[in-house]
Amino acid sequence: MNIQLTDAGKRFNRDWIFRHINFTFEAGQRYAITGPNGSGKSTLLQVLAASMEPSEGKCRWFNDMPAISGSNTTISGAAANTPGNITATGPAETKPVEADHVFRYLTYAAPYLDIIEEMSALEFLRFHSSFKPFQDGITPEKIITLLSLEKAAHKQIRYYSSGMKQRLKLGQAIFAGSPLLLLDEPCTNLDAAGYALYHQLITTYTAGKTIVVSSNDPQEYSFCQHHLSILDYK
């Protein structure tokens, strides 16, 4: 997934959060959006996710993945070209993606996005995979093991600690087959072992994905080749 911002700006009421961003997020590359608290990192991430429209300028998306394999089962009526897996089966092609369809191409983990706490982790992952398939060979059971959540697999998520919930959020986002991975403060509530797990999962399971991390913590985005400072667009 390639994302192009052209003279993009966002304001809430009279306050401009950022302005005049001309920037392209290239497919398969890793980006950090940095800046102090309240500077607009999460707002920009939401614009990239098409969950928020820019107030001026444009945000455009292009799917330049190779042709896609994998199941396309969905609960939201997604079209047949919904990404089911990042496995290449044909030549690459570049197609614009409508803002309304961008959600089909991404997964997003953020402190302000809720998970369904009435479900167990296993139920939640199975539910999620019914409309956004995981990568080839990855099952909900395997994810539980990789996240070291075996003992709590059947426990309702509402009884999870904050760090366990964050592991689950990361697993749901990272193991998906979709080409765009958006992470807002991905290590929130994680301990040292959680940080290590995060880096191991990024290293092992995100080949070919476009990743954008919004963060103040260099440990969260140490693998990103490109940095975009929000303060440069005030």
Judged by CB, which is closer to ligand ATP: 40, or 83?
Answer: 40
Determine, following the binding rule CB under 6 A, whether residue 35 of this chain makes contact with ligand ATP. Answer: yes
Alpha-carbon distance 140 to 173, whole Å?
A: 12
Determine, following the binding rule CB under 6 A, whether residue 17 of this chain makes contact with ligand ATP. Answer: yes
Among residues 3, 25, 31, 43, which is the contact residue for ligand ATP, using CB under 6 A? 43
Determine, following the binding rule CB under 6 A, whether residue 42 of this chain makes contact with ligand ATP. Answer: yes
CB of 104 to ligand ATP, least distance (A): 24
CB of 169 to ligand ATP, least distance (A): 16
Among residues 2, 34, 39, 82, which is the contact residue for ligand ATP, using CB under 6 A? 39
Determine, following the binding rule CB under 6 A, whether residue 54 of this chain makes contact with ligand ATP. Answer: no
CB of 45 to ligand ATP, least distance (A): 8
CB of 41 to ligand ATP, least distance (A): 4
Judged by CB, which is closer to ligand ATP: 13, or 225?
Answer: 13
Give φ, ψ of 224 to 5 degrees.
-85, 130
Q: Would strands 226-229 and 30-34 be described as parallel, antiparallel, or unpaired?
A: parallel
Judged by CB, which is closer to ligand ATP: 74, or 216?
Answer: 216
Q: Binding residues for ligand ATP, per CB under 6 A?
A: 12, 17, 35, 37-43, 216
